[in-house]
Amino acid sequence: MVTIDFNRALLDSKGAETQQKLNELVADLLLTESKGNVRKFYAWGIGLANGNPLVLDKADQKVLSELIENNERLIILAKGQILDILDEAGKEA
């Protein structure tokens, strides 16, 4: 199990912080999905919306990574930063 904290600002293409938070982006994405593991996505989304980190095993990291990567509603700039956090956490596990 690994703890993943998305409580950080989305960076713009020049590395400057924006007002958007990555935890809010991931929470919104999870909570507005219409398919997937409803209970898991709901719990993750509510936790992230309240500023909590996620505690995931390798299988759940893969589920979240695939959801982020394959989602058409998130911009590439956000996807890259979110996937970097997931990848880094995966190395620590």
Bridge partners, 40 (sequence order): none
Is 53 within 8 Å of 7 (Cβ atoms)?
yes
Residue 91's pLDDT is 79
**Statement: the pTM of the whole predicted model exceeds 0.85:** yes
Each residue's pLDDT tens digit, 24-77: 999 999 999 989 999 999 999 999 999 999 999 999 999 999 999 999 999 999
What is the C-alpha to C-alpha distance for residues 4 and 78, in angstroms, rounded to an integer? 16
